[in-house]
Structure 1
Amino acid sequence: MRTNVQLISWRREGIVADERTYLCIDLKSFYASVECADRGLDPFTTNLVVADPDRTEKTICLAVSPALKALGLPGRCRVFEIPPGIDYIKARPRMQRYMDVSADIYSIYLRYVSPEDIHPYSIDECFIDATPYLALYHVDARAFAQMLMDAVLAETGVCATAGIGSNLFLAKVALDITAKHADDHIGVLDRATFEQTIQTHRPITDIWNIGPGIAKRLAKHGVHDLRGVCELDESTLYCEFGVNAEYLIDHAHGVEPCTIADIRAYEPGAHSLMNGQVLPCDYTFDEARDVVKEMVDQLVLDLVDKHLVASSLSLYVGYAKGEGDRAREAAEGWFDGGHGRRPVSGRRGFPHTGGTRRQSDRTNSLAKLLPRFLDLYDETTRRDVAVRRIHVGFGDVVPEELATFDLFTDVATEAEERKLQEAVLAVKGKFGKNALLRGTSLKEKATARERNQQIGGHHA
């Protein structure tokens, strides 16, 4: 079968964009389904939530089983929002396990499809250009999707859903909206059915890439669905959204010129490295400053490990909510886009400080970078409000061959520091990230030791 997949590559070249068929496949309640499968349980009849039992009742459930969704629970509710009369299993997150199962499922796809025709969108979702494979397997698009879904279910116990469309956008919308109402969990959209059903669909925030902010700005012009976008004067849209109006106009008409080949060929104009975390409780100015030290230390090691240097740095410090923030949340409501609830107005309205600073050099020296971060922190961070979120980052990241020096650079000292950093990376690589720690990480409110045992902020 692999040989057949490779042989059809020559046919791909002669197919124009309008003739393509795309699949968007999503693994239904992925984390919860994996936990049910590992326990020999049916996720459609088992009440299970994936949430850390060591955290408070305010912690977000990473996933809930389809059985709980059928009772009206959102996919990313908080534990305290589960009605008290519902009995359920609470499964501790196991991120490494989910990554392993995701990799296994990707390998299943590769039995049927060449890797150049797959675009992984997230750990539980991917796009597939099915165009060359329908003739190869003598099936239509629905049968091909079912073939992949059946293989995943048989080998992993995870149920998948699929959207089918003539472009990537239509496939995604078919998955998000149409597949939910199909008995076989497969939704199909072409331009004609899109115009008949989706253009008038409300709320407009159900449409991929349209959040409450965009919806609010469209509502100012009396627009509440994609049909309204089509009917609105384009100059008004460009005035409101700038160049991003082009995406909105295309999608309102069911158009998406971008292909998987375009995505794979894309090269960003600039690169960056980021590290962020939500703190487990309120932190004082000094406690949060120690966390910044830990985060910068780890991010600099990432620069060294990847042989990169940076010419700018950024800091974001978010503060605990006040009564006014909670009142605003309650008044405006919440939006759930499938990846957790957030206030309708977004996070930008919450108090935060920080900024971005250009450097006079390109470097990955901790001795230079840490004092610059701490200066930025000391100058911009409030001391009268508790800290709850911290993000640090490096911008304009380039290969270390482009590092710059000045007349005052102590080359010998930087070479010694580099040897030390490489030794630290070697020890951590062999014995684990907690094999070597700075004294700061032994403080009570330090977070590095715990985060070194996590993936994406959750138990590995």
Structure 2
Amino acid sequence: MAPDAHALEKTYLAIDLKSFYASVECADRGLDPFATDLVVADPTRSPNTICLAITPALKAKGVRNRCRVREIPQGIPYITAMPRMYRYMEVSAQVYAIYLRYVSSQDAWPYSVDEAFLDVTPYQALYGPNARALAKRIIATVREETGVSATAGIGPNMFLCKVALDLMAKHAADGIGQLDEKTFRRDVWFHHPITDIWGIGPGIARRLARAGVYDLAGICATDPTWLRGEFGRNAEWLIDHAWGLEPCTIADARGYVPMARSLSNGQVLMRDYGFGEARVVLREMAWQSCLDLRQQALACDTVGLYVGYSGQAELFGHGGGQRGLGHQTAGEREVTDALLALYDQTVARNVPIRRVCLWLGGVVPVAIAAPTLFDNPVADAREARLAGAVMRARRRFGPNTVLSGTSLLPAANARERNLQIGGHRA
């Protein structure tokens, strides 16, 4: 396999904001994240709470990123910063606006709150002699205006620039890693563990290991027929990435429309919940998910549920499953009844619960949802009007203005979660 000539002409940057949440907290306090021991975590939660971020200074002391608070060595004094998700989103938007000073919005793709891809192919002559000079200029601007440090990866496609960011930038004096086809095969082909490579998780790594494959070079040496039999369609991108190829462009990423849609809603509970308590939480989540369907003018034809047990109870496996509704609907009563029936039939009664997740599948616009003889259009229209009134009130006065009666029960937590972003303090 060989990339076409046009792909060879491309130059991409992948930029990552270093220890982003912790760096924002340090910047707002006038502190240097490379000299300050700071942890972003909610101190009101238990010691098992996961740290959302730690400063580079703590990482240098051997503290693992995304560790639990109790795992930080007791001999290290540190500052605990309460998560402020709205503030982090605000700074992320500020940084993205800086990127757009250097490239068109059509050549930028925000990958996450702290990472972005830039196609800098047409801009290098304008801003400097090469992509590295442009990357340095962007990084310096971000640091000067936000106080947040950044690293960057450079490559001829989006995969190579991301690998350069993940594997090479952290070891570079200027925080910039760069790969081309030749250096990729020299420096990355035999890299271990293979899970350091973008897109390869523990599950894929275990399946490869069963065939004696432990690195990208091993994938290249493996019979493609076996890979396609083992991974199906996913084998194609696995093979491409092993050779350093990536046909997807930023335009492709920006224009991607999935063939199938679903909505999901999940949470990790802050303590062990009993069967009845977790059922209350599921009912709250179902109500909110149906409001989301109504807000986006969508309908679903399938519901799914996952209930994870706590501690040693994980040995029991998990509860949940999937159930078809028989038609496409956004009806709160029908969706909730189906989810609660799944819960009652599959979840152990006497086992503590720590995780509840639901998803709505077969999602389509209401305008093209196929009607059936068993629909009740009058009841559905009434429910849609009620949902519309709820959403208008919430938009104007806040998410806790109108709640389901379930949310007044002791085990309910929707009122607290409505004030959070991504499950953390806004």
TM-score range normalised by the length of the shorter chain: over 0.9
Matches within 5 A, 1:11-410: 16-322=6-312, 325=315, 351-410=317-376
Displacement of 1:323 in angstroms is: 6.9
Measure, in 2, the Cα distance between the counterparts of 1:406 and 1:210.
43
CA 1:216/1:370 → structure 2, altered by over 3 Å: closer, same or farther?
closer
Q: Secondary structure at the match of 2:233?
A: helix
* Deviates further, 66-75 or 259-268: 259-268
Q: 1:328-386: per-residue Cα shift (whole Å, max 9, x none)?
A: xxxxxxxxxxxxxxxxxxxxxx7112112222221112132222222222122221211
Letter in 1 for 2:392: A
Displacement of 1:237 in angstroms is: 2.4
Letter in 2 for 1:280: M
CA 1:396/1:259 → structure 2, altered by over 3 Å: closer, same or farther?
same
Displacement of 1:273 in angstroms is: 0.9
* Deviates further, 224-233 or 158-167: 224-233
Measure, in 2, the Cα distance between the counterparts of 1:135 and 1:158.
27
CA 1:446/1:138 → structure 2, altered by over 3 Å: closer, same or farther?
same
Q: Secondary structure at the match of 1:86?
A: coil
| TM-score (normalizing by structure 1) | 0.89
| Unmatched segments (≥5 aa) in structure 1 | 1-14, 326-349
Q: Secondary structure at the match of 1:389?
A: strand
Displacement of 1:324 in angstroms is: 7.5
Q: 1:90-146: per-residue Cα shift (whole Å, max 9, x none)?
A: 000000100010001001111111111111111000111110111222430000001
Displacement of 1:412 in angstroms is: 2.6
Give yes or no for contact 1:48–1:64 (8 Å, CA) kept in 2.
Answer: yes
Measure, in 2, the Cα distance between the counterparts of 1:361 and 1:67.
55
Displacement of 1:286 in angstroms is: 1.1
* Deviates further, 377-386 or 101-110: 377-386
Displacement of 1:251 in angstroms is: 1.3
Measure, in 1, the Cα distance between the counterparts of 2:399 and 2:183.
52
Measure, in 1, the Cα distance between the counterparts of 2:371 and 2:280.
29
Measure, in 2, the Cα distance between the counterparts of 1:92 and 1:146.
31
Q: Secondary structure at the match of 2:76?
A: coil
Q: 1:179-237: per-residue Cα shift (whole Å, max 9, x none)?
A: 11111000010000111111122222221112222222222333222222222222332
Of the three residues 384, 400, 405, the one matched with 1:439 is 405
* Deviates further, 389-398 or 206-215: 206-215
Displacement of 1:404 in angstroms is: 4.1
Measure, in 2, the Cα distance between the counterparts of 1:297 and 1:323.
28
Partner of 2:381: 415
Q: Secondary structure at the match of 1:128?
A: strand
Q: Secondary structure at the match of 2:403?
A: coil
Of the three residues 378, 384, 391, the one matched with 1:425 is 391
Letter in 2 for 1:378: D
Q: 1:38-73: per-residue Cα shift (whole Å, max 9, x none)?
A: 000000000000000001111000000010011111
* Deviates further, 390-399 or 229-238: 229-238
Measure, in 1, the Cα distance between the counterparts of 2:230 and 2:341.
38
Partner of 1:341: none
Q: CA RMSD in A?
A: 1.7
Q: Secondary structure at the match of 2:356?
A: strand
Letter in 2 for 1:359: L
Displacement of 1:408 in angstroms is: 4.4
Letter in 2 for 1:291: V
Letter in 2 for 1:28: K
Letter in 1 for 2:410: E
Measure, in 1, the Cα distance between the counterparts of 2:153 and 2:41.
29
Give yes or no for contact 2:213–2:219 (8 Å, CA) kept in 1.
Answer: yes
Letter in 2 for 1:96: Y
Measure, in 2, the Cα distance between the counterparts of 1:405 and 1:246.
39
Q: Secondary structure at the match of 1:256?
A: coil
Identity of aligned residues (%): 57
Measure, in 1, the Cα distance between the counterparts of 2:194 and 2:128.
37
CA 1:358/1:145 → structure 2, altered by over 3 Å: closer, same or farther?
same
Displacement of 1:169 in angstroms is: 0.8
Give the ranges of 4+ consecutive aligned residues of structure 1 lying more than 4 Å apart after TM superposition: none
Measure, in 1, the Cα distance between the counterparts of 2:350 and 2:262.
31
Give yes or no for contact 1:309–1:402 (8 Å, CA) kept in 2.
Answer: no
Letter in 2 for 1:74: R
Measure, in 2, the Cα distance between the counterparts of 1:415 and 1:249.
50
Letter in 2 for 1:449: R
Measure, in 2, the Cα distance between the counterparts of 1:323 and 1:277.
18
| TM-score (normalizing by structure 2) | 0.96
Give yes or no for contact 2:13–2:117 (8 Å, CA) kept in 1.
Answer: yes
Give yes or no for contact 2:323–2:338 (8 Å, CA) kept in 1.
Answer: no
Q: 1:268-296: per-residue Cα shift (whole Å, max 9, x none)?
A: 10111111001111111111111111001
